Amino acid sequence: MSAQSTTTKTVTVPRLRARKGAEPIVCLTAYTTPMAKMLDPHADLLLVGDSLGMVLYGLPSTIGVTLDIMIAHGAAVVRGAHKALVVIDMPFGSYEESPEQAFRNAVRVLRETGAAAVKLEGGQVMAETISYLTRRGIPVMAHVGLLPQSVNVSGGYAALGTASTEGWDRIVEDAVAVDKAGAFLVVVEAVSEPLAVRITDSISIPTIGIGASAHCDGQVLVIDDMLGMSARTPKFVKRYAELGHAIDEAAARYAAEVRSRQFPSEEYTYKLKGDNRPAGGSERS
């Protein structure tokens, strides 16, 4: 169990819940302690997303992510976050069966990581579960719109509500349902701007957009996407750096210097004290 207490946080669930219509909430994904330390001063919320299955493990979707994986990375992020609130995704299969299953697994997540809340996907169909969890002391961040864990049903990652208004009512009703069930935030993923506006204006809790326009009450991006470390860049992602290119160049320089024996040079080599011979020098006089 993490030694860090959520009670020491400067960002809390009630404070984020109260940010509806106020200063936008800054959210980024994080999967490791070093990254959490770097992002913590700038973010209000760090989301340990099951996107780590694709970003870190090379999986084709989030379906293969397990509860043990989420707990291991969640605990790592909590160790690096001292200000930002940490929320951990409940992976596919860990909460859909029943509210009781969701409660058991959510308790394990919070107990073993020290995180403040869990996130789960689904609207009206998950309202009963969200209510069950929140009434038992587990804060829930909801997720509507495009649902990555349901990609096998939806058939892909296409944005919703862009061709017509057909289907808008269902998504708005999903958002209303999780609001009434007690969620404190809701991620709205990959929907048209006017639909995002309608969702945000229809509920009392803050919306966190990812591909859902600046009208939302906050924004989240996958950290590897915004740092330019992903091969594919979704339309809604702004790349704030090109670290992928920088890493490629650094690795290429390192490889060249190793092969030419330029590295390690004397500067990076331990020598016997009192031995002033050049590195690699002959013992012959």
Binding site residue list for Mg(2+): 50, 89, 121
Q: From the candidates 96, 100, 173, 189, give the one annotated as an active-site residue.
A: 189
Nearest Cα residue to 136 out of 118, 162, 158: 118
> What CA–CA distance (Å, rounded) separates 101 from 96?
8
Residue 122 DSSP class:
B
Considering Cα of 73, then 81, then 189, then 240, what sign does the dihedral take?
Answer: negative
Considering Cα of 126, then 128, then 132, then 137, what sign does the dihedral take?
Answer: positive
- And the tokens for 104? 């058991």
Nearest Cα residue to 45 out of 10, 86, 9, 76: 86
Binding-site residues, please? 50-51, 89, 119, 121
For the question of residue 189 being annotated catalytic, the response is yes
Number of helices (H), then strands (E), in the chain: 11, 8
Which residues belong to the active site?
189
